[in-house]
Amino acid sequence: MCGILAVLGCSDDSLAKRVRVLELSRRQFIFLNPSLSSLSLSLSSMFPYPIKTLKHRGPDWSGLHQHGDCFLSHQRLAIVDPASGDQPLFNEDKSIVVTVNGEIYNHEDLRKHLSNHKFRTGSDCEVITHLYEEYGENFVDMLDGVFTFVLLDTRDNSFMVARDAIGVNSLYIGWGLDGSIWISSELKGLNDECEHFESFPPGHLYSSKQAGLRQWYNPPWFSEVVPSTPYDPLALRHAFERAVIKRLMTDVPFGVLLSGGLDSSLVASITARHLARTKAARQWGAQLHSFCVGLEGSPDLKAAKEVADYLGTVHHEFHFTVQDGIDAIEEVIYHVETYDVTTIRASTPMFLMARKIKSLGVKMVISGEGSDEIFGGYLYFHKAPNKEELHRETCRKIKALHQYDCLRANKSSFAWGLEARVPFLDKEFINIAMDIDPQYKMIKREEGRIEKWVLRKAFDDEEHPYLPKHILYRQKEQFSDGVGYSWIDGLKAHTAQHVTEKMMVNAARIFPHNTPTTKEAYHYRTIFERFFPQNSARLSVPGGASVACSTAKAIEWDASWSNNLDPSGRAALGVHLSAYDRQVSSVSPGIPAIINNVPLNMEVNHPGVAIRS
């Protein structure tokens, strides 16, 4: 996948504008000091230094096509057809131009139905130009994959923009004072050029012919009507295996992210089973590489090593310290473009790991995001009062993924030119999983049904086991917790030293929108505002109360949660095996609590985040 930037209908079609678009797409940012937040530098004062906008997303090639007042720019990370798939891409007579960030997994099947068309490359994305020729704008639902793209029809100077169903790939839309429309993979491409910008909604397309957005993805679960289809474990298993197998489409070295939890372990197990029969194995060998990150002695490192040994992968274990993570926070916020607390907590280890993985020559990894949203895997789902509430909460969680886990996985890996693929968010698999009667997803500990029981049961094969039993039934551990409990505790202690009580008193006046209510949240917000001072930027980040990654609505499930609002899984009191002390929230102001021998400031309980995953 890649990075895209398009300027459509601008008033200036001069060479200077072309140079500006190239600059926005290609320039690099240099962080001079890991403690930059302590320096009194404004964003404008940093501009003399090169700024990394989109080049990090696609270091392999840059392309720019101009047609009159429209510019389509592309930064390529070459995964499929590295030799000839440079973008922008064209149809036969070059009247249709497209810049794409994505992977189209069914492109070979689609090519068979486009036999009357001449293809110039082996790129999976080239089918988009020819599908448009055949079907106009009504082809997007035919694409099986993840994508964002801008297509320009030079015959009438019309254009369309589309984003994949769930929003796996990041995309933003902005408007200039001159009437231009800007499209970018990241906020960085827009925040200096547009009067207003916002996240481009998943499952939508924008048509210049209709001058507006319309929803192209509208599956049955989207309406939140409670389904009644009986649970079929084999149907679920086979659907997920298909989702993983199609993501083995690659012409470059790849691996799997392996935390040792259920989701990543299943991804690794299925990949290891099917890798030998793929083109990737013929090119790069049939032994799978796996990657894990954590603090020394963390739960994930231990579990991942056990799974790797069981599956026979070439396992790479990366260690980081709390200080390593703290030193990276500035860069993480710049790249991930959020001030959401748990997104930053979880993005930092992934950001550090992605850099290590890319240094090994790997350009693509397969990851386990999305399972908890689909199956009610977060620990707060233990308190779901009934199947109707559980189902509606899973629907809310999936719809919000593009603001949280998809954003984290996409941007923290692409910061280093590494692509992360997420089979749990496969369109076909989601439709099957969300059509299951949610009574089967209800957690019933008295019956031995823990969180994500339907997924665990689907892969509980006694004859040909996918995983060791205790891994298959390991309790849910959020990524930011699993890398080591002292990571979050250390972050809280660090920010408590840098944010004063006086700052917190005035927080609502300084940050009236999504006011930070903990010192940790305040610290992240100040960094974010320095990089992205525009009102549109702060409005692009969601807010609200959360406990253990819940939506604000789900807090109603347990009255005690309102006094223990923290997005960590350990906030699920009475559920998590290493939950926070039930009394910790009542510690007097100024007296630090101690968890895992790390000072933990609990003076304010509410981190001001929502729908975290």
Buried b (16+ CB within 10 A) or exposed e, 65-81: bbbebbbbbbbbbbbbe
Q: How far apart are CA 547 and CA 260, in angstroms?
A: 24
Q: How far apart are CA 348 and CA 344, in angstroms?
A: 6
C-alpha count within 13 angstroms, C-beta hemisphere, residue 445:
8
User: From edge to edge, which strands make up the β-sheet containing 70-76?
Assistant: 61-67, 70-76, 2-8, 181-184, 172-175, 196-199
The dihedral formed by the CA atoms of 370, 371, 376 and 379, expressed in degrees to the nearest 10: -90
Ranges under pLDDT 70 in the chain:
1, 26-52, 476-482, 484, 566-613
State the catalytic residues.
Answer: 2
End-to-end CA distance of the chain: give it in Å, rounded.
Answer: 23
523: helix, coil or strand? Answer: helix
Query: Which class for 401: exposed (0-12), middle (13-18), buried (19 or more C-beta within 10 A)?
Result: buried
Query: Rounded to the nearest 5 degrees, what angle is found at the Cα of 285, between the Cα atoms of 123 and 350?
Result: 70
Query: Is residue 533 within 8 Å of 43, Cβ to Cβ?
Result: yes
Q: Which two tokens stand for residue 306?
A: 């056990």
Buried b (16+ CB within 10 A) or exposed e, 217-244: beeebeeeebeeeebebebbbebbbbbb
Backbone torsions φ then ψ of 415, nearest 5 degrees: -55, -25
Residues 6+ apart with CB under 8 A from 513: 538, 539, 543
444: helix, coil or strand? Answer: strand
**Per residue in 141-170, pLDDT tens?**
999 999 999 999 999 999 999 999 999 999
The helix (run of H) or strand (run of E) holding residue 7 is strand 2-8
**Per residue in 330-381, pLDDT tens?**
999 999 999 999 999 999 999 999 999 999 999 999 999 999 999 999 999 9
Say what the pLDDT of residue 600 is.
32
Say what the pLDDT of residue 336 is.
97
Say what the pLDDT of residue 349 is.
96
Say what the pLDDT of residue 8 is.
95
DSSP state of 206: E
Query: Is residue 358 within 8 Å of 417, Cβ to Cβ?
Result: yes
Q: How far is CA 108 from CA 112, 162, 444, 573, 593, in A?
A: 7, 21, 44, 50, 58
Say what angle helices 341-359 and 519-531 make with each other, to 10 degrees.
60
